[in-house]
A = this chain, B = another copy of it.
Amino acid sequence: MSILEVAREAGVSVATVSRVFNLPDKVAPATREHVENIARTLGYLPNASARTLRTQRSRVLGVVLPTLTNPVFAECLEGIAQAAVAGGYAISPFTTDYRLDQEDRAVNLLLAGNVDGMILVVSNPATSTALQRLAEAGLPYVLAYNHHPDHPCVSVNSELAVTDVVTHLATLGHRRIAMVSGLLSASDRAQQRCRGYARGMEQAGLRAQPVLQVPFVAAAPEVLGEALNSQVRPTALVCSNDLLAIRSIRAAHLAGLAVPRDLSVVGFDGIALGQDLTPQLSTVVQSNADIGRHSVELLAQAVASGSPLGPDMGLTLAHQFRTGESCAPPPLSLVPPPT
A binding-site residues for B, Cβ under 8 Å = 45-50, 52-53, 58, 60, 67-69, 71, 74-75, 77-78, 81-82, 85, 90-95, 105, 108-109, 111-114, 243, 246-247, 249-250, 253, 272-273, 276-278
Report whether A95 and B68 are in contact in the complex, using a CB–CB cutoff of 8 Å: no
Closest CB of chain B to A131's CB: distance in Å? 16
Q: Which residues of B contact A46 (CB under 8 A)?
A: 112
Most buried by B among A49, A81, A249, A272: A49
Copies in the complex: 2
Check A113 against B93 for contact (C-beta < 8 Å): no
- Of the candidates B53, B74, B91, B105, the one whose C-beta lies within 8 Å of that of A74 is B74
A247 CB contacts on chain B under 8 angstroms: 276
**Using Cβ atoms and an 8 Å threshold, which residues of chain B touch A112?**
45-48
The interface centre, meaning the residue of A48, A91, A94, A272 with most chain B CB atoms within 10 A of its CB, is A48
Q: Is the CB of B68 within 8 A of A77?
A: yes
Cα distance A75–B67 in the bound complex, in angstroms? 9
B92 touches A90 (CB 8 A): yes
The residue in A52, A108, A249 that gathers the most chain B C-beta atoms within 10 A of its C-beta is: A52
Contacts of A111 in B (CB 8 A): 45
B109 & A95 in contact (Cβ 8 Å cutoff): no
When A53-B53, A253-B278, A273-B246 are in contact, do A114 and B68 touch as well, CB less than 8 Å?
A: no
Q: What is the CA–CA distance of A67 and B93 in the complex, to the nearest angstrom?
A: 15
Given A90-B92, A273-B246, A53 and B45 touching (CB < 8 A)? Answer: no
Pick the residue among B45, B53, B71, B94 that contacts A85 (CB under 8 A). B94
Query: Chain A at the B interface: mostly helix, strand, loop or mixed?
Result: helix
- Which residues of B lie under 8 Å from residue A82 when comparing CB positions? 95
Instruction: List, sorted by A's number, 16 A–B pairs whose CB atoms are closer than 8 Å.
Output: A45-B111, A49-B49, A49-B53, A60-B92, A68-B68, A68-B74, A68-B75, A69-B74, A69-B75, A71-B273, A74-B74, A85-B94, A91-B92, A93-B93, A247-B276, A250-B278
In contact, B90 and A246 (Cβ under 8 angstroms): no
Interface contact B246-A276, CB-CB below 8 Å: yes
Known A-B contacts A249-B278, A278-B253; A68 and B78 likewise in contact (beta carbons under 8 Å): yes
**Across the two chains, which residue of chain B brings its CB closest to A48?**
B113
Q: How far in angstroms is the closest Cβ of chain B from A292?
A: 10
State the Cβ distance, A48 to closest chain B Cβ, in Å: 5
- Chain B residues whose C-beta falls within 8 Å of the C-beta of A250 in the assembled complex: 276-278
Which residues of B have CB within 8 Å of A58?
Answer: 49
How far is it, in angstroms, between the C-alpha of A75 and the C-alpha of B77 when the chains are bound? 13
A69 and B272 contact, Cβ closer than 8 Å, known pairs A49-B114, A114-B49: yes
| Cα separation A246 to B277 with both chains bound (whole Å) | 7
